Structure 1
Amino acid sequence: MSIKLGPAGVPLSCKGRTIVEGMDDIISLGLETMEVQTVRMVAPQHFEQYWQAGVLANKTDFEMNIHGPYYSELLGGKVERGRSLAKIEATLQAARTVNARHITLHTGHYGDFGRGHAANQQVANVFSGIVDRVHEIWHDDEDEFPVFPWIKNGTPSKIGVETSGRQELWGSLEEVLEVVNHVEGTVPVLNIAHIHARGHGQMRTSEDYGELFDVVRESIGTKEFYCHFSGVEHRTGNAMHYTQIKKSDLNFEPLAEFIVEDGGWLDITLISDSPLLEHDAMYMMQNIEKSRHKQLERKAREDRRRALALQTGKSEEELRSKETQIAQARKTAAKPAPPAEKAPAEPAKEESPPAESEKPSKTKASKAKKESKKAEEKEEDDVFDFDEEDDDLF
């Protein structure tokens, strides 16, 4: 099993804003991948830093990926489609320069095609042309091999077809799998937040993730998965916007549990799309580690139970039942006893007034001294001293 985690873009905590500086920060956090964002257009002056990032990725075995323009109209008319492909061309050039393993692309609105086979066929034709173009760019000029050593011995970037998060956009899981199944060189990009939103909040348990990955594996026969994850706010089957993971009804714990318990066959890259970027990437990594610890603890308990069963002659089921009873008893014992109800205050009366011989409090003693002095000076009756003390008590 291979798991790589990283942010979608330069980390928020990075003092510099170049890709190389971002890579340094990501590596120092213990993360192993990132997705460069070319969501609108790639400016020519950025290619120098892309090349530097590609060299560093090649030397350190760091996985680089790249995201194409957010707004695409690959199902639009000739003009709209041509405009989108021009932007994608810049992303393909950048992917070669940065040594990207995956290029994630959006398809856009259904347009005049609507849902169905015709739209899927058109998308397949467009992506087939994009795959051909990537291969052309990758092996364009052999004279550049010394500058791009990863090109000579490597394979072209894989074109990622991303699942969409809105009903009016092409990109349901079924549509993506149909296209990927027919176009060699493409892979599905499972945006879990989009799948969750489009399915009205369907990703809730580890079993849900098991079904998702099984469907993909059975459909296209792969064990390699490229996924995006973040929290998401959604309504009526549409993603509204990304949120940090802890503020969403899309929890990461079930996915972590699936990866650790049943995902031994996976080769998975997880990109954090969260507004917190690297912070939520770290949060995902910590949750995977927690699931691993739970798995180890459970296996250790099972080993102890098995050994004890051999020693005592009892069955493992009996021992497990006894452990459950003991754990339940501990929980009950650990519960704090409910606070005792305060008895209603008794009327001030029932207590007999303190005898004159009893010691008054410090304050009262002080006042009593003063009153005593006054009494000596004025040589008056002690009954007034009692009245003063009475006032103090109430």
Structure 2
Amino acid sequence: KILNARHLTYHVGPYGDYEPGTSANEQVANVFSGVVDRVRSIWGVAKEELDYAAFPWIHESEPSLVGIETSGRQELWGTIEEVLEVCNHVEGTVPVINMAHIHARGHGKMKTSEDYAELFDLVRESYGGKKFYCHFAGVEHRMGNALHYTQIKKSDLKFEPFAEYLAEEGDWLDITIISDSPLLEHDAMYMLQHYDKARQRLLEIRARDERQVKLARQAGMSDDELAEFERQAAEEKSKEAEKESELKEPAKKTVSKKVDTSSMISFEDADDEDDLF
């Protein structure tokens, strides 16, 4: 409470003697009810006001929220459904959505922006609210279990679809994304960069569409004519994209060079030379 922590995140652990289901969820809910009560009991004690005069938030702020994070292994309690159910029953708790864990536990399920839309639709319908904490990193996984975090570029969990979802449909969210990557600051900037790009693309598309509609209105087109015009424009754009892809030159074959074994070993990753983030 001295640090004025607004959020405390907990991992539950193995199912133990319980099977996944209602009994396990009830046990976890009972545990977190005790955690929330304990947090509230040490927050804002009136007789300690003078002792903590230098820390006014202890008496003025609300107690820290207790976050319950999704897990990334089959034997651990913490599917997104389980976390949402417990958070719904225990006041003072909030879900912490770890995308790498959800991706791994779902055998690589988070692939498109639609997958993220489906996830947050579930969260909105089951839990409500708009303020969320999310963890993101690359992840190596096998058979529905997370093995370890990796650099985002090295993982099959890509940030671009998440960025697209946030740019297109994430206006209702008050979301904090926390980098869990081994390259902590590097991948944090990588995510920010891709979100900015997705946002910029969306603004450009909207501006172009608004301009086309404005020009069509000025030309005196009816609603039906405007709809047909937009359909034709979309078809032409699709054909142009296909034509461009066909005209692209095939990738040049890489010429292997003889390596001087007497030279020093390089620890630089060749894959990263063309992209800082």
The equivalent residue for 2:258 is none
Q: Which amino acid aligns with 1:282?
A: M
Distance 1:175 1:322 in 2: 46
Q: Which amino acid aligns with 1:316?
A: L
Question: Could you give the per-residue CA deviations for residues 310-343 of structure 1, whole angstroms, max 9, x where no partner exists?
Answer: 23344334443247536745874793689xxxxx
* Alpha-carbon offset, residue 258 of structure 1: 0.9
The equivalent residue for 1:163 is 70
* Alpha-carbon offset, residue 172 of structure 1: 1.0
The equivalent residue for 1:33 is none
Q: Which amino acid aligns with 1:272?
A: S
The equivalent residue for 1:119 is 24
The equivalent residue for 2:209 is 302
The equivalent residue for 1:325 is 236
Q: Which amino acid aligns with 1:178?
A: E
* Count of aligned residue pairs for this structure pair: 243
Structure 1 pair 204–291 and aligned structure 2 pair: CA distance change class (3 A): same
* Alpha-carbon offset, residue 305 of structure 1: 0.7
- Contact 1:305–1:316 at 8 Å: present in 2 too? no
Distance 2:241 2:112 in 1: 28
After TM superposition, where is structure 1 displaced by more than 6 Å over at least 4 residues in a row?
A: none
Bigger Rg, structure 1 or 2: 1
Distance 2:91 2:192 in 1: 32
Structure 1 pair 124–316 and aligned structure 2 pair: CA distance change class (3 A): same
Normalised to the residue count of structure 1, the TM-score between the two structures is 0.58
Q: Which amino acid aligns with 2:11?
A: H
Normalised to the residue count of structure 2, the TM-score between the two structures is 0.82
Distance 1:225 1:255 in 2: 14
The equivalent residue for 1:53 is none
Distance 2:143 2:194 in 1: 29
* Alpha-carbon offset, residue 152 of structure 1: 2.1
1:353-372 to structure 2, matched below 5 A, reads none
SS of the residue aligned with 1:288?
A: helix
* Alpha-carbon offset, residue 98 of structure 1: 1.7
1:250 aligns with 2:157: yes
Structure 1 pair 178–326 and aligned structure 2 pair: CA distance change class (3 A): closer
Structure 1 pair 337–123 and aligned structure 2 pair: CA distance change class (3 A): closer
* Alpha-carbon offset, residue 119 of structure 1: 1.5
Distance 1:109 1:337 in 2: 53
- Contact 2:2–2:58 at 8 Å: present in 1 too? no
Question: Could you give the per-residue CA deviations for residues 48-74 of structure 1, whole angstroms, max 9, x where no partner exists?
Answer: xxxxxxxxxxxxxxxxxxxxxxxxxxx
1:222 aligns with 2:133: no
SS of the residue aligned with 2:100?
A: helix
1:1-394 to structure 2, matched below 5 A, reads 96-140=1-45, 141-314=48-221, 315-320=225-230, 321-322=232-233, 324-325=235-236, 328-329=239-240, 332=243, 335=247
Distance 1:178 1:104 in 2: 17
Question: Could you give the per-residue CA deviations for residues 128-148 of structure 1, whole angstroms, max 9, x where no partner exists?
Answer: 111011111222322234221
- Contact 2:73–2:146 at 8 Å: present in 1 too? yes
- Contact 1:261–1:295 at 8 Å: present in 2 too? yes
Question: Could you give the per-residue CA deviations for residues 24-79 of structure 1, whole angstroms, max 9, x where no partner exists?
Answer: xxxxxxxxxxxxxxxxxxxxxxxxxxxxxxxxxxxxxxxxxxxxxxxxxxxxxxxx
Distance 1:192 1:202 in 2: 10
* Unaligned segments of structure 1, at least 5 residues: 1-95, 339-394
* Alpha-carbon offset, residue 173 of structure 1: 1.1
